[in-house]
Structure 1
Amino acid sequence: MNKVGFFKSIQFKVVLIYTLLILLAMQLIGVYFTDRLEHNSLETFDKSMENQANLLSYNISEAIKEVNQKNTTDQKALINSIQDQLNEVRDMVDVQVIDNNGTILGTTSQDQSIVGKRTTNDQILADLMNSNGYKRQTLYNKDTKTRVMDATIPIKIGGDKQGLLFMEKSLDSVYDNLRGINQILATATGIALLVTAVLGWYLARTITRPLALMKRQALAVSQGDFSRRVMDYEDDEIGQLAQSFNNMTERLQEANATTEAERRKLRSILAFMTDGVVATDYYGHVILMNNRAEQLIRVYRQNALGESVLKILKIEDEYSLEDLYNMKESLILDFSTDFQQLMVRVNFSVVKNEGNNGLIAVLHDVTEQEQIEEERRDFVANVSHELRTPLTTMKSYLEALLDGALDDRALAEKFLGVAQTETDRMIRLVRDLLQLSKLDSRDESIKKERTNFITFFQAIIDRFEFSKTQSIEFIRKLPKRAVYVSIDPDKMTQVIDNVISNAIKYSPEGGSITFRVVTKGQHLVVSIKDEGVGIPEENVSRIFDRFYRVDRARSRKLGGTGLGLAIAKEIVNAHSGDIWAESEWTKGTTISFTLPLSRRGDGV
């Protein structure tokens, strides 16, 4: 935030306002005071001049009366008597005595030549004719370039008007006094303004300092610092504002802490969700994506932010943004690669935020569900097919028997034998299915016993070697010492029987089957290798799937249900082991499985 300039600050404005107010008040007071002082001074000056005029008029009238009592007609004696009275006058610019004829009888002017001559002053002549009392006026004397006050008063003797007394006095003393007083007032105004500015400065500081602190605190709060507080100076409006600001800061701190906690919770939830979440703005641009979404759609978050959600979901050719806003059903999207199958279900929901809508896309990995659903469909189809084939065969033979083949004993026995064989195959199929169902639901009990696996394995091999009809060599590569494992003998016998049976079925005449047992770490590894036709490489990983056959026709002919290896896998897994196949086309197949060694057993 930029610093406020001095001339724009509240402190300067407060000082300026206070100073202007004081200046205005002093000016108004000065104007009124000067006006009244001038009026009173002129009024006092006027009264003083009137008193002087009355006194001088009286003295002159007495002097004239005295001359007249001497019964002299000497004009010069009269002028001298009047002049004697005028000589006593002080502080006058000019004083003249004029008789009724307008002749000047005396003057205080240095120009005494005007005495005995008729006056030329029109105002004096007018007052001589019309005025019967004291009369004055203020004029500007062009000769002396000063303001003067002229006054006229009749000279009376015994009530008769004998002439006119004219007086002119300078007003410089009055206005000099006024100027002095104005100067004092101006100086006082200047001092008052200076004092006001200083006091206003400190007064403004009491207001602006808390405001400045609040400004700094507001800036700190905007930057996330809630630790600062404004000092409460007084219990006034500013103090209450500071207290309210501190309370607001505390509430903001609490709200921010709550929001931050919720944000951390949301961040943690998004980070560790098993579902992917993608959020967009109104225009469909990605603004948020969690880790799981990155994994599901295989796009880095930094590359996805700002991109269209249609693009990152790879649906821009099938859907528009408006379609997503109106979509109620979920989408199943295929993000599979050559190395991994991945199916994702996407649900879209609209987020409304004060008129600025957006989208939330929730991504859920449904690969396993889709695989289970596909396996279920395949399972139903395979069971239906496996049951339909023997049922169709039995139906055909039974129809043939009903059509007359029953009369031919040899043919009837053959047909019934085929029906019995197919019935046995269906029974085996149903039995294997029931066993698989129990293994899947963990209802099949595993009764483990501590068993010497070498002796156990030798007995099974001996049984098969004794009952085999082909010319197949059994090669045994087994340890000489006992190796103990914890197994269910019946279930493990079923596993080994199935693997050896398959090896014998697919081994050529004159071939061999190799039996090997070794220990690796804490596990026993059992291998059974034949020299049959083998399994194509692309099919090796699928031979443990239910109903899977490499050669369906041959397997069915040999009496297999396609469930033997699937059951074997479930039993081995129930023993905490693992089973796998290794094969090369035309060179035979090796089936291997592991079993945990018994803790009390002896290693090999």
Structure 2
Amino acid sequence: MQLSYRIRMILYNILLFAFAFLIVVFCVFQGTSYFFINQTKDVLLKATQDSTLFISQELKNLHSSESLDNQFIANSLYLSKNISENESHRVLLFDTEGNQIADSVEETSIYNILATELTLSMTENAPVFTLKSINDTSTAYFTSPVVIDNTVIGYIGFTYSMYEMDAFLHVASIFFAIGGLIGLLFLVIVTLSFSRHFFQPIKDLTKISKEINNGNYNLTIYYKHVDEIGDLTHAFNGMVTNINSVILQLESERKRLAGVLASIDDGLLAIDKNGNIITSNSYIKTYFNVSNPKTIYDFQHQSFLRDIFDSLKNGKDHISEEIDCNDRNLLLIGSPIREKGFEENYMIIIRNMTAARHIQEEQRKFISSVSHELRTPLTTIIGYTDMLTRRQVVDQEIITRSLNTINREGHRLLRLVDNLLNVNKFDRAEFDFKKTNLNIVLLLSEVVEQMQIKASQSDIEINYVSDELPEILGDYDRLQQVFINIIHNAIKYSNSGEIIDVISAIEDNHIVVSIRDYGPGISEIEQKRIFNAFYRVEEDRSRNSDEGGSGLGLYIVKQIVEKHDGKIDIVSQVGEGTNIIVTLPILSVLIYGGESDEKRNK
């Protein structure tokens, strides 16, 4: 549970008071105990000296021939009783072997209560003092050797009650407890009263801080006293004014920076020297699928970014490299950002070069294909003309065949140039078709009749079947070019005696034209590329190798169909023939947004 600062301050004061109070109590109790113990030691040492003197006088007055230690043992009870009466303490006497020989108090217990002290005194040949508490009563235990004429004749022990010390400490503990409670209560009252006065400006600071957090920077605090709190409120008011000014500036700069970053078509990363991301734009997520990166190490699967950062951090001034990432070709440009008075930061720009590289590749392929297509007929024409001029051929058959070949290759070259011009036209956005209302059945009938002449030369039959179809909106010449090209390819790849089926019907407000041949078919790999510019199916699968195309026919067909809001599909299997399907919207779909004539009539 989170406690308020006011409660914590009260608790801290209570703990501080308790700590100080306990120290005082400890010192008083320890001092008192020390005083009583030292006083008791002095009393017992003096009692020992007086007792030794008394024992010496009594034994010498006996004028006995026995040794002093024997006389001490023989008169021990008498001696202990007299010493106890003189000193008012319990007295125990022991022989030199440590055996108890007399006790001033007659007790049946044979337990030597001074056994520990006696052992120490015998070992050290010196007085021993201990303090023990038994049943909450403190008692001092004291033993000392009895030395007469430099000879130890025995040992004397005293037990001394510390009742006065216990009584004093008991009374003192009661007074300390009462005083501590009164002091603690007084402390809490004073602390509460003071904290209410002390924390009111802080509460005002908290309230205004919340308002500032909500965007209100026009508030200030009024505090009339000239003290530390007054200095704090004055500084706080100045801070609020400065914050308001700085935030307005930062907001203006943020908008400018956001506008700049949004206008950049490249990914951008600004990084400090510790690898923390200063700023980035939306392309970073697009390229690397990392949202709101905090450090360069958040790019766990893009180690090349960390490598560039490490190289820049190690002193490299400029880095530029291309990499492949997530099916994209990316150009990475890294450089340090140095400004006098500021720490060095780093910038990495990620530029998507996929489209540019694709265009370059397509341009290369286009130039290569065009060069090849132009070279082939030109080489043939130059070869035959060179043969006719240099060799002075007189054989009319050779001359005729050569001229026919030159004528055929010249027309092939002309078709290639026308196709290139058409491709250039269709790629321009401003190119517009001459669209009119037309009858697709009539158009297909004319195309089939025209192509039947060419097909009959190879003993191929074209069958055309159609329902009654509505009109479409289209360019007659361009659509005629579409179906001529498709049927021409069907004838080209059909064998003698085969048929070509042309079927037109209506499906879902669209006219579907199917042109089906039964030739060698096309593989799945070739189907994906057959509508690309300059792509040609293997020529050895064609019935007539002399009819090799430029590879632009179906590309142009696809462009024309798409310009009519239609689509073209291919269904083919090797060995079973090919079906080209052209789908075009009917006129009512383009005009009325998809309602057929039947629905509108209803």
TM-score range, shorter chain: 0.5 to 0.7
- 1:321 aligns with 311
- 2:243 aligns with 252
- 1:133 aligns with none
Residue 535 of structure 2 aligns to a residue in which SS? coil
Mapped contact 1:294–1:300 kept (Cα < 8 A): yes
Find 2:516's aligned residue among 529, 543, 556.
529
Deviation, structure 1 residue 492: 0.7
Task: Report the residue type matching 2:285 in the other structure.
Answer: E
| Structure 2: runs of 5+ lacking an equivalent | 14-190
Find 1:392's aligned residue among 379, 398, 401.
379
- 1:595 aligns with 584
| RMSD, aligned CA | 4.3
Superposed, 1:514-593 pairs within 5 Å as 514-552=501-539, 557-593=546-582
Superposed, 1:6-405 pairs within 5 Å as 212=202, 216=206, 220=210, 226=216, 229-234=219-224, 242=233, 245-246=236-237, 248-253=239-244, 255-256=246-247, 259=250, 275-284=266-275, 290-297=281-288, 299-301=289-291, 305-307=295-297, 312=302, 314=304, 321-322=311-312, 326=316, 328=318, 330-336=320-326, 341-352=327-338, 355-405=342-392
- TM-score, normalising length: structure 2: 0.57
Deviation, structure 1 residue 581: 2.0
Mapped contact 1:331–1:347 kept (Cα < 8 A): yes
Task: Report the residue type matching 1:212 in the other structure.
Answer: I
Residue 529 of structure 1 aligns to a residue in which SS? strand
Residue 371 of structure 1 aligns to a residue in which SS? helix
Mapped contact 2:564–2:584 kept (Cα < 8 A): yes
Distance 1:233 1:291, change over 3 A: closer
- Bigger Cα displacement from structure 2, 491-500 vs 449-458: 449-458
- 2:449 aligns with 462
- Bigger Cα displacement from structure 2, 506-515 vs 552-561: 552-561
- TM-score, normalising length: structure 1: 0.57
Deviation, structure 1 residue 569: 1.4
Work out the CA distance in 2 between the residues paired with 1:252 and 1:424. Answer: 80
Residue 348 of structure 1 aligns to a residue in which SS? strand
Deviation, structure 1 residue 249: 1.6
- 2:492 aligns with 505
Work out the CA distance in 2 between the residues paired with 1:396 and 1:324. Answer: 64
Mapped contact 2:204–2:221 kept (Cα < 8 A): no
Aligned length: 408
Deviation, structure 1 residue 558: 0.8
- 1:148 aligns with none
Mapped contact 1:278–1:286 kept (Cα < 8 A): yes
Distance 1:355 1:492, change over 3 A: same
Q: How far does the alpha carbon of each residue in 1:419-438 deviate from its partner, in whole angstroms, 9 at most, with x for none?
A: 22211111111111111111
Task: Report the residue type matching 1:453 in the other structure.
Answer: I
Mapped contact 2:290–2:299 kept (Cα < 8 A): no
Deviation, structure 1 residue 501: 0.5
Q: How far does the alpha carbon of each residue in 1:390-439 deviate from its partner, in whole angstroms, 9 at most, with x for none?
A: 22222222222233243333222222222222111111111111111111
Q: How far does the alpha carbon of each residue in 1:451-491 deviate from its partner, in whole angstroms, 9 at most, with x for none?
A: 12122222222222244222333333422x23211001011
- 1:195 aligns with none
Residue 307 of structure 1 aligns to a residue in which SS? helix
Deviation, structure 1 residue 231: 3.7
Work out the CA distance in 2 between the residues paired with 1:287 and 1:314. Answer: 19
- Identity over the aligned pairs, expressed in percent? 27
Task: Report the residue type matching 2:471 in the other structure.
Answer: Y
Deviating beyond 6 angstroms after TM superposition, the runs of 4 or more aligned structure 1 residues are 6-9, 204-207, 221-225, 235-241, 264-273, 315-319
Mapped contact 1:325–1:348 kept (Cα < 8 A): no
Deviation, structure 1 residue 211: 5.5
Residue 542 of structure 1 aligns to a residue in which SS? coil
Distance 1:476 1:410, change over 3 A: closer
Distance 1:593 1:365, change over 3 A: farther
Q: How far does the alpha carbon of each residue in 1:285-323 deviate from its partner, in whole angstroms, 9 at most, with x for none?
A: 6676655323323x4448995527696154778996239
Q: How far does the alpha carbon of each residue in 1:141-199 deviate from its partner, in whole angstroms, 9 at most, with x for none?
A: xxxxxxxxxxxxxxxxxxxxxxxxxxxxxxxxxxxxxxxxxxxxxxxxxxxxxxxxxxx
Structure (1 or 2) with the larger CA radius of gyration: 1
Task: Report the residue type matching 1:334 in the other structure.
Answer: D
Distance 1:416 1:477, change over 3 A: closer
Task: Report the residue type matching 1:475 in the other structure.
Answer: N
Residue 248 of structure 1 aligns to a residue in which SS? helix
Q: 1 or 2 for the larger relative contact order (CA 8 Å, sep ≥6)?
A: 1
Mapped contact 1:334–1:343 kept (Cα < 8 A): yes
Distance 1:335 1:581, change over 3 A: farther
Mapped contact 2:308–2:319 kept (Cα < 8 A): no
Mapped contact 1:226–1:250 kept (Cα < 8 A): no
Determine if the alignment matches structure 1 residue 406 to structure 2 residue 397: no
